[in-house]
Amino acid sequence: MKRSLQMITNKQLIACREQIFSYNDNYQVPFYGRRKSIAEIKELNANLKPGETIIISQPLGTGKSFLINHMISTRDLNVPVATKSLVPKTIGKDKDVLKSFPGDTIVVDEADIKTPAKKLIEGIKNLADYLDDTGKKAIVIGDYTLHNKDISGALKRRVVLNNFEPIDSDFLRGVLRERFKKFLLDGIDTNFDLNSVIEPALIEYLTPSWMDYANSFRGIFSLLQKLVADKELIKYNSNQAYLTVDMVREMLNTDDNENYDEPQKLFLEYLKQYIKEKYPKGRGINNGFSVKELFQLQMNIDDKTGIVEFEEEILYPLAVSGMLVSTGVPGFSKDTKEFIRRPAPYFPSLELMLLADEL
């Protein structure tokens, strides 16, 4: 098909939106970046002793599994190409699955709060026993849960990956450029300029430096997918596609507010105002919000709500729905044997920040 070398039309962008802004493994997207992580993993792996485990503990949706699968496919790890990772839930249920994993290094993914704590602990314990018995090694991928010794403590000899490049604007640009090239430009290395499709300010908004370690590709790409799917904002025509900050704001503003209960809506409105006044453009939110700080805001709205109720009915739901990003290490209750989920500190999500910034 004959296509302009540079101009991307709305029609083309709409057609390829799931592929360009993919955040799961439904589409084969090109790998980009993470050179430091790769170098460190290679080094850790080369020096890994029998029974030891490399821990990759980063937030959900940041590309950990993609990185390891990429390294397996490029033969940077001594894991047979195309081997499917095991998950703690399965290992917990049947430790014999470990025997079927080929090679000396076992890859375990999804060691995160998406797995019930009991099953996660069981799975990790079975893995630890197996490593002790066989002298094999492992790479365990999960979220900040793995920082919790109650969860991952069974793995006695752990080495933790330190380098995991944050999603800054250069990283995002590189990822997007590769994807545009693959899905819309026939893989040809043209003079394609990302700025001709996405307003530079939008890229900056999506990658604030204060959010470096809390940001996720999932968050960014789900927002961009939603924008391109908005038929009012992006018309199906042959005009040049151009995504802007204002468009995202318009989309978020026209989103129905039906997804929140009244107390949640009131709190969000108050929080937006608070962010705008105290942390314009997010400046200064370096450590995120504590529960105490947020509860103080709630007290200004309604002093009858207790802190437990506030955490259960407002904070947790906002964290699950993505308006707040929980960056704390999930706790583990020894009484209930369950996670204490989505703990503080919290950061405002990209959506919340964009809305707060326009007040």
Partner 1 sequence: MNCKLGDGQVINKQSFIVTLLSSLESELEIQYRLLVAMTQEIDAGEELDSESFVILVEDTITDYALSIPKAKRLVEKSGFFYFDRCLWRYNERFEINGQKLSFSDFKQMILGEENEIHSFNNDDDSIKTSIENSLKWCIQMVKMAIESGLKGLPAFLRCEESDSLIGNKVAGTATPEALSFLCRGGSYFEKTIKTNQEKETLAAVFTFLLENTLACQCNFVGWDNGGFYPLEDQPEAEHPTIDATSIALMALCDFYSHKSMLQEITDNKIIAIDEIIQKAVIAGIDFVVRMQRPEGGFSIYQYEDEYLNGNTLNIQRENGIALPNDNCTRIIISAMGTSKGSGIFDDIKKYNYYDICSNVIKRSYEYLTNNTANVSQGQIWLPYFGKDESQYDQGDILVSSGRVNRCFVPVWWQMEAKRPEIKKYTSDFAAYWCNVSKQSGGRIGKYIFRTPKKDVYSDVTYNWKSYSDMIAGFAVLQAYNMFGIALTKEEWKTIEEAKNRVLVLQHPHGHWNLPSTTQPFLAVTVAAYDFLTAYLSAKIIE
Q: What is the DSSP string of 207-259?
A: S-GGGTTT--HHHHHHHHHHHHH-TTTS-SSSSBP-B-HHHHHHHHHHS-GGG
| 254 belongs to the binding site for partner 1 (CB under 8 A) | no
Contacts of 116 (CB under 8 A, 6+ apart): 89, 338, 339
Least separation, in Å, of the C-beta of 75 and partner 1?
A: 8
Task: Give the residue, chosen from 5, 39, 160, 320, that forms a contact with partner 1 under the rule CB under 8 A.
Answer: 320
Interacting residue with partner 1 among 35, 36, 84, 156 (CB under 8 A): 84
Rounded Cα gap, residues 6 and 183, in angstroms: 13
* Sole binder of partner 1 in the list 4, 6, 39, 74 (CB under 8 A): 74
What is the x/- site pattern for partner 1, positions 120-159, by CB under 8 A? ----------------------------------------
> Environment class of residue 282 by beta-carbon count within 10 Å: exposed (0-12), middle (13-18) or buried (19+)?
buried
For residue 72, the tally of other CB atoms under 10 A from its CB is 21
DSSP state letter for 314: I
Q: What minimum distance in Å lies between the beta carbon of 345 and partner 1?
A: 19
Shortest distance in whole angstroms from residue 262 CB to partner 1? 11
Q: How far is the CB of 242 from partner 1 (least distance, A)?
A: 19
Q: Does the footprint of partner 1 cover residue 253 (CB under 8 A)? A: no
For 199, other C-beta atoms within 10 Å of its C-beta total 17
Q: Can you tell me which of 28, 162, 191, 300 binds partner 1, judged by CB under 8 A?
A: 28
Q: Can residue 312 be called a binding residue for partner 1 (CB under 8 A)?
A: yes
CB of 192 to partner 1, least distance (A): 15
Task: State the number of binding residues for partner 1 (CB under 8 A).
Answer: 46
| Other beta carbons less than 10 A from residue 104's beta carbon | 14
Binding to partner 1 (CB under 8 A) within 169-188 occurs at: 183-184
DSSP 148-210: -HHHHTT--SEEE--------HHHHHHHHHHHHHHHHSTT------GGGTB-HHHHHHHS-GG
Structure tokens at 55: 């821990």
Residue 342 CB: number of other CB atoms within 10 A? 20
**Partners of 139 in beta bridges:** 54, 107
State which of residues 313, 329, 331, 358 lies at the interface with partner 1 (CB under 8 A): 313
Given a contact cutoff of 8 angstroms between Cβ atoms, the answer to whether 49 and 158 are in contact is no
1 or 46: whose CB is closer to partner 1? 1
**Nearer to partner 1 by C-beta: 203 or 319?**
319
Residue 304: CB minimum distance to partner 1, A: 17
Q: How far apart are CA 181 and CA 187, in angstroms?
A: 5
Out of 7, 15, 194, 252, which residue is the one contacting partner 1 (CB under 8 A)?
15
Site for partner 1 in 262-291 (CB under 8 A): 264
In the bound state with partner 1, the residue whose beta carbon lies nearer, of 51 and 330, is 330
Residues at the interface with partner 1 (CB under 8 A): 1, 11-12, 14-16, 18-19, 26-28, 72-74, 80-82, 84, 100, 113-118, 183-184, 229, 258-261, 264, 312-314, 316-318, 320-321, 323, 336, 338-339, 341
